[in-house]
Amino acid sequence: MEEFNYVTKEGLEKLQAELNDLKFVQRPFITRQIADARDKGDLSENAEYHAAKEDQGIIETKIVKLNNLITMSRIIDESKLSTKQVMMLTKVRLLNHNINKEILYMLVNEKEADLKTGKISFKSPIGLGLMNKKVGDIVEVTVPAGKIKLEILEITL
């Protein structure tokens, strides 16, 4: 079964920019390094050449993985989102009962997750605990620090 990579439009653009950087900036740079190292003579003892070839392999692997990820990506149609329940791209205002503090999260895919900006992966323990829940629901989620009790106060876009 193929698993799609659901992304925002911005998320897909970020992946494409990363791929373009690998293909059109990093790949040519490594190719020049290999050519320069090759010009220095005996390749069997040329550490620069071997390091550049290793870097080239890493970049090519990243390019293949990123190409596959982009191929499997589907942009989420935000017009079809609902605030009736928690789903990808919804913002959820929560009350953390453990510390009696409100927090706001937006559920996104793993690649777009950034805790500093309040974006958490829908596949994270908290994300999985919140998915498909409604306003008023209380969920108990196990995180590395222990169990936390979260109450859904509001769901917005």
Q: Where are the domains of the chain?
A: 5-75, 78-156
- Output the pLDDT for position 2: 58
- Residues of the chain below pLDDT 70: 1-2
Q: Cβ(7)–Cβ(111) under 8 Å?
A: yes
- Output the pLDDT for position 44: 74
Beta bridge partners of 105: 92
Best CA proximity match to 118, nearest among 131, 130, 103, 98: 103
Q: Whats the size of the chain, residue-wise?
A: 157
Dist CA 24 CA 5 (whole Å): 24
- Output the pLDDT for position 24: 97
Best CA proximity match to 142, nearest among 125, 123, 127, 128: 125
Dist CA 62 CA 59 (whole Å): 5
Q: Cβ(83)–Cβ(157) under 8 Å?
A: yes
Question: Which string of DSSP letters, residue by residue, matches 37-99?
Answer: HHTTS-GGG-HHHHHHHHHHHHHHHHHHHHHHHHHTEEE--GGG--SSS--TT-EEEEEETTT
CATH of domain 78-156: 3.10.50.30
pTM (2 d.p.): 0.67
Dist CA 29 CA 32 (whole Å): 5
CATH of domain 5-75: 1.10.287.180
- Output the pLDDT for position 116: 94
